[in-house]
Structure 1
Amino acid sequence: MKILTSDPARFTDLPDYPFEEHWIAVDLGDGYSGRMHYLDEGPQDAPPVLLFHGEPSWSFLYRKMIPVLVDAGFRCLAPDLIGFGKSDKPDDIGFYTYDRHVSWLKQWRDAVVPQPAALFCQDWGGLLGLRMVGEEPDRFACVVASNTFLPTGGTPSPAFLAWRHFAKTSPDFMIGELLQRATATERSEAEIASYDAPFPDEPSKAGARAFPALVPVEDGMDGIAQNKRAWVGLAAYDKPFLTLFGEDDPVTGGLGETLASRIAGAQGMPHAMLSTCGHFCQEDRPAELAQGVIDTARTASFLA
């Protein structure tokens, strides 16, 4: 197996992404190590908010939210998951596991922002972030979740099964076009190219192809037992927990109410379904999502 590194030339002139690079070494397991890239914007002593992306995006997804959150008084931290964005990419699909992704992200969090933080998570950012909330609830001041869930088996939807099959078998797995099709608003050619930038060839897409098959949506899959244990802490989480879901997302759009109904801190919060909003809600409704984070943090007395 090879650990692929990104070509910096592919990330020049990204639209609305003027952010400084930050890096940390991560123990990938089996004797391998890699570098994880992340954004760290805003004053170092400001209340931190973690911005976790999912499949198959990267921290570019948060470029519209970060300026709003920094202006409100946050320190914004947005990592690129291993296998995505500017971070290093193992080229073996089989090397990626749910537990490894949790471990890699926890290593980053422990090293970079060990203190309590707010969390915004979407897609696989929620499968990772919500498990972390359930396992260590005291480290999270408040949570805003969008188009995500913490699955524990069951029966997957036809829409998800189609997506999983496509990710595994499609000969033309074009990341930018996937983002375009899963938003309710149009992306520019430069934005589509920015989502393609981390993935110049097939080996670099191993992590992106692997993720859908790792979602524990069917009984017997890896991750179910861990998520069930995490749900004990997540359900009891009594700090402010808000869901803002895109109503135009056929896969996760209907899960917001289900998620909110099971978490103590979600009771009485102003949950909403956002119109003209697809799966990648950060592209379609960034202002509303950022305001939701700001309001939730103020409800938690985490942000002045």
Structure 2
Amino acid sequence: MDFLRTPEHRFHNLPDYPFEPRYVEVEGLRMHYVDEGPADARPILMLHGEPSWSYLYRHMIALCVAKGHRVVAPDLIGFGKSDKPTDINAYSYQQHMDWMQSFLDQTELTDITLVCQDWGSLLGLRLAAENSDRFRAIVVGNGMLPTGDQKVPPVFKLWKGFALNTPWFPVARIVNLGSARTLTKDEMRAYDAPFPDKTYKAGARAFPALVPIAPDDPAAPANRAAWKVLETWDKPFLTTFSSGDPITRGGDAYMQGRIPGAEGQPHTTLQGGHFLQEDSPMAFSNAIIDLMARMEA
């Protein structure tokens, strides 16, 4: 498989991202992750989505670690400091699942609290359902596990067409537009850092087209099987959606109604856009920290 590796100098002097890089090899590709906090603490696994990377969680990593927690935040293949296959056809929903399963097995994480958003939810909820004995709780912000049986917002269809067809795919501007606040110049540089040119962006372009939007989608059967598990999930399940995301709006209520572990949880609506990690990192972190405290009580 042909792939590119972003030169390390692209990541020098990024604001608020002092974390030591760590790597595992998944099917011949190098996958980067952050692992901060006490090694013997129960891990919080933070999964990013499209078209971001672990930099998205920089403030939340620091806040959770400051409270004594361990945080693990990988860069999905095709993103961040992880290797980037150059052929868009190298990416599929199942291939991303296989890469993440390999990551989970190699890091030997257990007693995991999952925190996920966007494609981090499409992968993370499947991962938790397929490895339920290794997860103790789930926190979802602006995410879902689609099966192709639900209606798709018109704005998503526009986004899918844009990602596949536009000659210009401005990653940092996309993150900026999806945030309620305006990112700084250095933050914009950080989101563009993984992608020196368009040849590095196949994974980012691929993601929207991989979302199951029809019942016969290749990923639909596995996602329906995952929902069978989630419909019996009685461990804590917390939603922390934002107030201003047109794509995932209503998904929190949908999951609260289907997942037993959501009952009685202090679900909250955070202020912000799609990238609530940029808009409400402290409130998002506090929801996680409070959940961890309740589970330890």
TM-score normalised by length of structure 1 = 0.95
Q: Find out whether 1:14 has 2:10 as its counterpart.
A: no
Unaligned runs of 5+ in 2: none
One of 60, 71, 88 as aligned partner of 2:66:
71
Give the structure 1 partner of residue 40 of structure 2. Answer: 45
Partner Cα distance (1:111, 1:2) in 2: 23
Partner Cα distance (1:280, 1:200) in 2: 23
Give the structure 2 partner of residue 88 of structure 1. Answer: 83
Give the structure 2 partner of residue 172 of structure 1. Answer: 168
Task: Give per-residue Cα distances to partners, 1:39-65, cap 9 Å, x unaligned.
Answer: 010110112110000010000001000
Q: Find out whether 1:215 has 2:185 as its counterpart.
A: no
C-alpha contact (below 8 Å) 2:270/2:284 kept by paired residues: no
Q: Find out whether 1:25 has 2:20 as its counterpart.
A: no
Partner Cα distance (1:217, 1:130) in 2: 17
The residue type equivalent to 1:55 in the other structure is: E
Task: Give per-residue Cα distances to partners, 1:62-81, cap 9 Å, x unaligned.
Answer: 10001110111211100000
The residue type equivalent to 1:66 in the other structure is: I
Give the structure 2 partner of residue 30 of structure 1. Answer: none
C-alpha contact (below 8 Å) 1:147/1:255 kept by paired residues: yes
Describe how 1:88-237 pairs up with structure 2 within 5 A: 88-154=83-149, 155-237=151-233
Partner Cα distance (1:6, 1:291) in 2: 33
The residue type equivalent to 2:39 in the other structure is: Q
Q: Find out whether 1:280 has 2:275 as its counterpart.
A: yes
Partner Cα distance (1:212, 1:15) in 2: 28
Task: Give per-residue Cα distances to partners, 1:137-171, cap 9 Å, x unaligned.
Answer: 22111111000000011331101101101111111
Describe how 1:236-275 pairs up with structure 2 within 5 A: 236-275=232-271
Partner Cα distance (1:236, 1:72) in 2: 31
C-alpha contact (below 8 Å) 1:137/1:234 kept by paired residues: no
Over aligned residues, Cα RMSD in angstroms? Answer: 1.0
Partner Cα distance (1:77, 1:86) in 2: 15
Q: Find out whether 1:289 has 2:284 as its counterpart.
A: yes
Give the structure 2 partner of residue 3 of structure 1. Answer: 3
Partner Cα distance (1:258, 1:133) in 2: 18
Partner Cα distance (2:114, 2:123) in 1: 11
Partner Cα distance (1:260, 1:113) in 2: 29
